[in-house]
A and B are shown apart, each in its own frame.
Chain A
Amino acid sequence: MILTLDQVGKDFGGLKALSDVSFTVNQGDIFGIIGPNGAGKTTLFNLITAIFPPTHGRISFKGTELVGLKPYKITALGIARTFQNIRLFSNLTVLENVMVGAHTRMKSGVWRGLWQTPAQKHEEKAARERAKDLLNFVGIEAITDLSDSLAYGQQRRLEIARALAVEPDVLLLDEPAAGMNESETEDLMHLIRQIRDMGKTIVLIEHDMNLVMNICNRLAVINFGLKIAEGTPADIQANSEVIEAYLGKEDA
C-alpha cells in the first residue's frame, strides 16, 4: 500500500473530469491505468503530483497525505513522473536535464556554487556520475547535446532518466510508448521491468494494449472520469463493461 487514492474527484468548471476514483497501488506493482481519450487518466497524475488540487478526495503516499502539499514537496517525498506531451528543458543538455532531476537529492546553494567548495564539487561530481549511469541505463549516448536534438523515442527515455534521478519510490509514466515503433516499444517494456526490479513501484498510463497486458500486474480502467473496473490483466480482458467501453473497439 504505497499509494492510495480515496474518492478522488476533479471538476473543471462544469466538466467532471474525474468522479470518486479510488484505488490502491502496492509496493512493487506495475499498475496500469487505461481508458479512452479524455477519460481523465492524465488528470489523475496531475492530481497525484499536485499540478492542480483535487476538488475532493484524499491521496496518500506511504501514509502521508499529499493533498495540500506543493508539487516539489511531493517529488521530494519520492514520487516522480514523465509527461504525455514531452516536457524536457530544451535549453539544457541531455546530461543537465537528468541532473535537474537530482535537484532534491542535492544541497548546494548559491554560495557553494560560487566558490565551488570541496563539498559542492564532490556533490556535483557524484550527481554527474549518477546521471551518466542513468543515461547509460536508458540507452542514451549523446549526453552533451541539447535535449531537443534527440529523436522522439530518445526524448521519452530521457524523461524516464530524469525522473529516475529523483530517486523515487513511485514512478508515474504517462504514455511512455506513444510515438514509438514496435521494436522501441519492446525495448521500453524491458526497461520498465528492469526499473521495477530495481525496487521501484510503477504506475503506467498507456494505450498500447500489448504492452499493458504484458507488463502490468494490476490495472484500473477509467471511462468518462469513472473507474469502471480494476483487477489483473486477465480479469480486465474478461470484463464485459470494459470490452464494451474500450477494448471492444480495438477488435472491431
Chain B
Amino acid sequence: MDFILNPYYLQIGMFIMINAILGVSIYLTLATGQLSLGNAGFMSIGAYTSALLTLKAGFPVYLAIPIGGFAAAAVSAVIGFPALRLKGLYLAIATLGFGEVVRVVFLNLKITNGALGLSGIPSLGILLGKALSSAGFDQGMGGLSVQQLSNVSVLLILLILVVFLVFFSLRLSRCRVGRAFAAIKTDETAAEAMGINTTYYKLLAFLLGAFIAGVAGALAAHITFYIGPKDFDYHRTVEILLFAVLGGSNLVWGPILGATLLTMLPEVLRAASDYRMMIYGAILVTMMAFRPQGLISEETLRFWKAKLGRRKEHDLNS
C-alpha cells in the first residue's frame, strides 16, 4: 500500500494518464488517416489558456481546464480548413510547423512570461486537498493523510477520464461517424463517392484530437505547477507520435499501451534517461522495420480473444 502511495509513483501514474489522453488524441486524428503532428501545439494552447485563466483571471480550475480544450479546438478549426487540403507528408510538415509557431509565440509573449514560463499554477492536488479538508476529512481517512488522499483522488479523476475516452473511442468506431472515419482512412475518393463529406469528417477528427490534446495540456499544467515553452517543443510531438507508432494506431488500445510503456521507460531506465531521444529514434526505426502496425493490431486482439476463449472453454470442460 505504501508502495502505491509513494508520491513519486503517484506522480508517474498521473503522467501515464496524461500521456494516455494524448495517445487518444493522436488516435482520433489518425482514425481518418491524417498524420497531424500538431498535438504538442494544441496541448500547449490548452495548458497556457488554463494556466493563465486561473492565474490572472481567477477562473476556477474545473472551468479553466475545459476552456483550455475549447481554445485548442478553436485554433484547430482555423488552421484545419487550409491544412486539411494537404495530404500525407505535407500535412505532417505543415502541422509540425504550426507546433513550432505556437511555441515561438508563447516564447515571446509577455503574458506567458517568455522562456521562463508560468509557475505557481494552482495545483489540482492542493485544491482537492482543500476541498477534502473543508468536507471534514482534514484528518485524512482510513489511515491516509489529506495529501495522500488528494493525490489518489487526482489519479482517480485522470483514470476516469481515460476510461471515458476509451469508451468514447470504442463507441465511435461502431457508429456511423466511426465507419465514415475508417472509410476515409482507406480510400478517400471511394468514401466521398459513397456520400461521405470527407472535409467535414476530417475536420471533425482534427478538432476532436485538438480538443483532447488541449485538455491533456491543461491537466498537465495543473499537476506540475509549472509550464514553459520547452515542455511543448518537437520532442513532445515525437513522443506523442511514438505512442501511436509503438502501440499501434488502428485500435484505441494501441496508443494507450504505447503511452504507458514510454512513460515508464525513462523511470525504469533512470541511467538511460540522458539517451531518451536516441532510444525513441531506435524504437521508431525498429517498429517501422519489423512491426509497422504497432504492438496491438486487430489480429493481436483476435488472437488473444481466441486464446482466452479457448482457455475458458477448457476450464469449463475440465
Selected A-B contacts with CB under 8 Å, 17 pairs: A71-B193, A72-B196, A89-B191, A99-B176, A100-B191, A100-B194, A103-B179, A103-B180, A104-B195, A106-B176, A109-B177, A110-B177, A113-B171, A113-B176, A123-B176, A162-B194, A163-B194
The answer to whether B187 has its CB under 8 Å from any CB of chain A is yes
Q: How many residues of A contact B (CB 8 A)?
A: 36
Residue B204 interfacial (CB < 8 Å)? yes
Report how far A81 CA is from B195 CA in the complex, Å.
11
How far apart sit A113 and B170, CA to CA, in the bound complex (Å)?
Answer: 10
Task: Given A87-B187, A89-B186, A100-B183, check contact A113 B194 (CB 8 Å).
Answer: no
Task: Contact check, A92 vs B197: say whether CB atoms are below 8 A apart.
Answer: no
CA distance A81 to B196 in the complex (A): 14
Cα distance A104–B174 in the bound complex, in angstroms = 17
Interface membership of A108, Cβ < 8 A: yes
**A116–B198 CA distance with the chains assembled, in angstroms:** 23
Contacts of A83 in B (CB 8 A): 190, 193
**Contact A110 B172, beta carbon cutoff 8 Å:** yes
> Which residues on the B side are within 8 Å of A96 (C-beta)?
179, 182
Contact status of A103 and B189, CB under 8 A, knowing A92-B182, A116-B171: no
Task: Count chain A CB atoms within 10 A of each CB in B179, B186, B198 and give the residue with the most.
Answer: B179
Secondary structure class of chain B's binding surface, majority of residues = helix
How many A-B Cβ pairs are below 8 Å? 92
Decide if A166 touches B194 in the complex (CB within 8 Å).
yes
- Tell me the bound Cα distance from A91 to B160 in angstroms: 30
Specify which of A49, A89, A106, A123 is in contact with B187 (CB 8 Å cutoff): A89
How far is it, in angstroms, between the C-alpha of A100 and the C-alpha of B182 when the chains are bound? 9
Q: Hey, which bits of chain B sit against chain A, CB under 8 A? A: 168, 171-172, 174-180, 182-183, 185-187, 189-198, 204, 208, 250
**B-contacting residues, A40-90, CB 8 Å:** 49, 51, 70-72, 75-76, 80-81, 83, 87-90
In-complex Cβ contact of A114 among B171, B179, B186, B191 (8 A): B171
- CB neighbours (8 Å) of B195 from chain A are 72, 75-76, 101, 103-104, 166
Among B172, B179, B193, B250, find the residue whose CB has the most chain A CB atoms closer than 10 A: B193
> Apart from A91-B182, A113-B172, what are 17 other A-B pairs with CB-CB below 8 Å?
A72-B192, A75-B193, A75-B195, A76-B195, A89-B183, A89-B186, A89-B187, A91-B186, A96-B182, A99-B176, A103-B179, A103-B194, A104-B195, A106-B176, A110-B208, A112-B175, A116-B175
